[in-house]
């Protein structure tokens, strides 16, 4: 059952690996998973805490199927939503054949920051859990090479890394080497997903994520963190065209006018940017209708978490 016949008639044994991608918020985990898979499966923004749930991206390299789990950034959580996100990240490690820790090399070489403290905390936690990881020093396009040597030595001294890769997830430098290394580590076993599947999230959730990315990019301060997006309807028009309805939940009445913008301009821009990308992703023109819903306390509602693929953590 584990074999398939190649085009040239040779039999290949199937191999697979589950790889958890973890790291501090904004380290570039989602950018890296997208680069490893070769298409966008997870949204990316300049803001911390963009990814909220575990999202799997899948790549096939010859006989090996690599299943990457992108996770929310790990930090010291306070709010309920933060706790659920951080718990989801650590759960991403369960059953993983390899752990990739993504570190923002530029941040590590700068002055101490939230990012460097979070990375330190994660390394401490890996030690406590007696886990080994593959270290990815990301964003090397932003740093001078000689400066990396000390960082590599310091990280090596931690004693938790099996291998170190220097790369730029954004421009793709070094991504192939990492992928080949991980493919070589795959062990004999059945593929968990059909050969052409690239991610495990539903079209409805992917569509909601794309709109949430636009919300994150256009709105600032606490608003992105106090909002969420859900796809409420997925139908066809009479002409057979894709028609998607979504609700943007915000937690305060005062947020509604900010999301709408002057004369509805902000919401319109979010909708246009999202519709354009959705049409590309789904390979057909999409009609998108957005509604803003003020729902105080949505961050306490189990249903909202379920829609995002999260569990509430007390």
Ligand X SMILES: Nc1nc2c(ncn2[C@@H]2O[C@H](COP(=O)(O)OP(=O)(O)OP(=O)(O)O)[C@@H](O)[C@H]2O)c(=O)[nH]1
Please give the residue ranges that form the binding site for ligand X (CB under 6 A). Answer: 23, 25-31, 44-46, 48-51, 72-73, 138-139, 141-142, 168-170
Beta bridge partners of 8: none
Residue 242's binding partner out of Mg ion, ligand X, none, with CB under 5 to 8 Å set by partner kind: none
Residue 28's binding partner out of ligand X, Mg ion, none, with CB under 5 to 8 Å set by partner kind: ligand X
> Would you count residue 228 as binding Mg ion (CB under 5 A)?
no
CB 120, min distance to ligand X, A: 16
3-state class of 161 per DSSP?
A: strand
Can you tell me which residue has the tokens 């998973």?
Answer: 33
* Of residues 63 and 213, the one with the C-beta less far from ligand X: 213
Q: Which helix (H) or strand (E) holds 100?
A: strand 98-104
> Would you count residue 51 as binding Mg ion (CB under 5 A)?
yes
Closest by CA position to 41, among listed 198, 269, 256, 270: 198
Residue 142's binding partner out of Mg ion, ligand X, none, with CB under 5 to 8 Å set by partner kind: ligand X
What is the C-alpha to C-alpha distance for residues 208 and 296, in angstroms, rounded to an integer? 20
* Of residues 96 and 140, the one with the C-beta less far from ligand X: 140
Please state, as a whole number, how many other Cβ atoms lie within 10 Å of the Cβ of residue 117: 13
Task: Kindly state the DSSP code that residue 10 receives in the 8-state scheme.
Answer: -
- Rg, the chain, Cα only: 20
Among 27-35, 130-138, 172-180, 248-256, which window interacts with Mg ion (CB under 5 A)? Answer: 27-35
Among 9-17, 33-41, 49-57, 229-237, which window interacts with Mg ion (CB under 5 A)? Answer: 49-57
- Position among 20, 22, 28, 30 found at the interface with Mg ion (CB under 5 A): 30
* Of residues 64 and 73, the one with the C-beta less far from ligand X: 73
What is the C-alpha to C-alpha distance for residues 234 and 244, in angstroms, rounded to an integer? 5
Residue nearest to ligand X (CB): 73
What is the C-alpha to C-alpha distance for residues 95 and 88, in angstroms, rounded to an integer? 13
Residues in contact with Mg ion by the rule CB under 5 A: 29-30, 50-51
């Amino acid at each position: 059952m584990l074999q398939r016949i190649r085009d040239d008639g040779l039999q290949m044994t199937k191999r697979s690996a589950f790889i958890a991608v973890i790291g501090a918020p904004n380290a570039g985990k989602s950018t890296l998973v997208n680069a490893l898979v070769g298409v966008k499966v997870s949204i990316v923004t300049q803001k911390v805490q963009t990814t909220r749930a575990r999202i799997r991206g899948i790549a096939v390299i010859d006989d090996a199927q690599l299943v990457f789990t992108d996770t929310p950034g790990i930090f010291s959580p306070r709010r309920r939503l933060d706790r659920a996100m951080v718990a989801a990240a650590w759960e991403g490690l369960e059953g993983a054949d390899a752990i990739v820790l993504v570190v923002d090399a530029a941040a590590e070489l700068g002055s101490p920051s939230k990012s460097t403290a979070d990375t330190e905390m994660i390394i401490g936690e890996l030690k406590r859990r007696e886990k080994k990881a593959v270290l990815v020093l990301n964003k090397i396009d932003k740093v001078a090479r000689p400066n990396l040597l000390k960082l590599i030595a310091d990280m090596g001294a931690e004693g938790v890394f099996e291998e170190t890769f220097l790369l730029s997830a954004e421009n793709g430098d070094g991504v192939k080497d990492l992928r080949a290394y991980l493919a070589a580590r795959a062990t004999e076993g059945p593929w968990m997903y059909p050969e052409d599947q690239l991610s495990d999230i539903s079209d409805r959730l992917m569509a909601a994520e794309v709109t949430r990315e636009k919300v994150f990019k256009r709105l600032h301060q606490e608003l992105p963190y106090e909002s969420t997006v859900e796809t409420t309807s997925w139908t066809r028009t009479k002409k057979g065209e894709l028609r998607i309805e979504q609700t943007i939940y915000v937690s305060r009445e005062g947020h509604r006018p900010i999301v709408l913008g002057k004369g509805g301009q902000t919401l319109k821009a979010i909708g246009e940017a999202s519709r354009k990308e959705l049409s590309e992703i789904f390979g057909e023109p999409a009609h998108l209708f957005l509604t803003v819903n003020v729902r105080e306390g949505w961050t306490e509602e189990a249903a909202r978490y379920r829609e995002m693929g999260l569990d509430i953590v007390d």
